[in-house]
Amino acid sequence: MARIIEEQYVWRLPVRIYHWINALSIAVLFVTGIYMAFPIISPPVGEAVWYHRMAWVRYIHFGTAFIFIANFLFRLYWALFGNDRYGRFGGFKPWLPAWWGQPFKEQLASYLFLKKEEPDYCGHNPVAALTHFLFVFLGSWFMILTGLAMYGENNPGGFLDTMFGWVVLLFGSSLTMHTMHHLVAWVFPVYLILHLYAVVRHDIVNRSSITSSIITGYKNRVEECAEYAD
Amino acid sequence: MEKKETFAEVFEARGVKRRDFLKFCSLMSVYLGLAPTMVPRIVSAMEKKPRIPVIWLHGLECTCCSESFIRSSHPIVADIVLNMISLDYDDTLSAAAGFQLEEIRKKIMKEYKGKFILAVEGNVPLKDNGVYCTINGESFLDVLKETAADAMAVIAWGSCASFGCVQSARPNPTGATPVHKIIKNKPVVNVPGCPPIAEVMTGVITHFLTFGKLPDLDRLKRPKTFYGVRIHDKCERRPYFDAGMFVESFDDDGARKGWCLYKMGCKGPTTYNACSSIKWNEGVSFPIGSGHPCLGCSEPDFWDNGPFYTRRADVSFVGVNSNADKIGVVAVGAAAAGMAAHAIGTAIKKGTSESKTVETEED
Ligand code: HEM
Ligand code: SF4
């Protein structure tokens, strides 16, 4: 049996709203993106001019992309300047050797079953922070930069083309850039699996109500109660 | 060498009618995207300015650029081309040959130092001291460097000279290297395509003659006028793309009706060229117009981005025999399997010990 000894307010409203907009827009971007690559629904009948199927899918992808970008930039602002103990970059300093020290090693060891204790962090644990950095932070930057460069191609010489055209040069050709945008898109479903598993697992192991915390904002700290010995 | 005649004088001598000459000038203004008011400027440049001497070098190439060039749709266009180069230096088209021809090259280089255009077709094999392409006993690398040193500007004709094309495709056995990677201290214009459209080639030279400078270039050093827009954005099949009506095989109903070739591997969405606007063979058609997907021949590394008839998303890369989605699905599968194994591990761990929760504070 466990008893809730403390309710902690961890995820503030802006962070929770960000989380869900992010989750939804990534889902939409992934589905529409894959559809653009594999437009499988059988073609409509009649005059092409009345149909905009592919055009709509692209339109939704681009519209959602701008929501995704705005949301991402907001989160970046919040992480850097927000007065939020758990939602800012704060302690995440992977360029310092110290960051990879005790807490990180312990958390990793615990995940790898090398250690019995399960550390329980209010915010993100160091391994989670690293995972978020690699998948969500870098992954989003990659998708945004390549995405905007591709979007700029629709209007050569326009604003986005001028601002982000250099990205094409990193890949050598537009085709390679498209292919890499497509490949890196898979980072998100992979992350989703790791993420959902880690959340549910923490909920069970630490009983911290981490799952509902992204809706309510509260995490519980629980204490094991002594069993009746009758 | 005698004083260079103007283009107009050459035309006259060849019996080209004035009317045809003016037609040519307006045609060029259209291709170059200039206002009608600019036509007189082109006419006057053609009449007054002496012809620009052009040295045309051939490196590792197949001569398809020259073939395309001499088939410019407008008869005068072809004339210009032939006059411009046969009088100067082109080792494929010149009547002279051997030492005699090399003499001519040296002579032009001396007499028009800093004033001639160097046109390069093909690229430079760098491996083994350049033995894979030699001219008159000299490596093409040396010839190119020597000639470029005195040139006003360098035009890289075709995908070979611009980006490397087939001879630099993996594994690039001869170390074939495009011109702009070798000539760094001269303005280089890339006019890619395998081959480039004849009118594009003449257009670049006309622009140079009229304005005395190279046309505006994009990031890959291509003239914006011709390489500014993707094939896809001016493609006549685009309404079918937007509607989602795709050819699924070359003999299906969609193919007969002229639907979009996206699923047949069309590289139009990532290819910058003027095929869908200027077209080929006197404006008759272009590959997509004739039912063939665009190969993306004017894009860097297009040989390595094949197969040609496979849609973009199915293209394998980095030497892996697997496309983006196969890699993605495997990664997702691996993640799921890993997590499942971890869940079992967690259950065992829970079963064997009471998990102790450590309270942690973070900054
Ligand atoms: C989580 C984020 C994203 C995912 C999962 C995603 C996924 C995809 C996928 C799978 C494709 C298809 C590539 C192909 O044809 O093979 C695609 C295309 C594209 N995406 Fe994204 N994308 C994301 C974000 C963005 C962003 C932020 C932009 C910025 C505007 C963007 C713009 C584009 C463009 C312009 C295309 C090409 C469409 C076309 O050529 O018709 N994407 N995306
Ligand atoms: S045929 Fe090719 S270039 Fe034309 S609309 Fe379809 S994909 Fe685009």
Written as one string, the DSSP assignment of B321-335 is SS-HHHHHHHHHHHH
Average of per-residue pLDDT values in chain A: 86
Residue B352 above 60 pLDDT? yes
For residue B63 the two structure tokens come to: 């001569």
Determine which residue's CA is closest to atom 8 belonging to ligand 2. B232
Binned at pLDDT 50, 70 and 90, residue B83 comes out as low
Q: What angle do CA B244, B248, B254 make, to 5 degrees?
A: 70
Binned at pLDDT 50, 70 and 90, residue B65 comes out as confident
Q: Is the pTM of this model over 0.95?
A: no
CATH class of B50-227: alpha beta
Residue B355 above 50 pLDDT? no
Domains of chain A listed by start with CATH number: 55-222 (1.20.950.20)
Distance CA B162, CA B177 (A): 9
CATH code at B231-304: 4.10.480.10
Calculate mean pLDDT across residues A94-109: 80
Closest CB from A43, A116, A178 relative to B355: A116
Calculate mean pLDDT across residues B333-355: 78
What residues are in contact with ligand 1 under a 6 Å CB criterion? A 26, 29-30, 33-34, 36-37, 58, 61-62, 65, 68-69, 143-144, 147-148, 150-151, 178, 181-182, 185, 188; B 269, 312-313
Domain coordinates in residue numbering, chain B = 50-227, 231-304
Determine which residue's CA is closest to atom 6 belonging to ligand 2. B260
pLDDT tens digits along B290-314: 999 999 999 998 888 777 887 766 6
Q: Nearest-CA residue of chain B relative to A207?
A: B357
pLDDT tens digits along A221-230: 766 554 554 4
Q: How far is the CA of A101 from the centre of ligand 2 (A)?
A: 54
Binned at pLDDT 50, 70 and 90, residue B162 comes out as very high
Q: Which residues of B touch A122 (CB under 8 A)?
A: 362
Distance from CA of B194 to the nearest CA of A (A): 16
> Three-state SS for B218?
coil
SS (H, E, C) B302-314: CCCCCCCCCCHHH
Q: Which residues of A touch B317 (CB under 8 A)?
A: 176, 179
Residue A150 above 70 pLDDT? yes
Of A215-229, B99-113, B165-179, give the lowest mean pLDDT range: A215-229
pLDDT tens digits along A37-74: 989 888 888 888 888 999 999 999 999 999 999 999 99
Distance CA B169, CA B175 (A): 10
Binned at pLDDT 50, 70 and 90, residue B63 comes out as confident
Distance from CA of B38 to the nearest CA of A (A): 23
Cβ-proximal residues to B11 (8 Å cutoff; 6+ apart), any chain = B21, B76, B79
Give pLDDT, residue B198.
Answer: 81
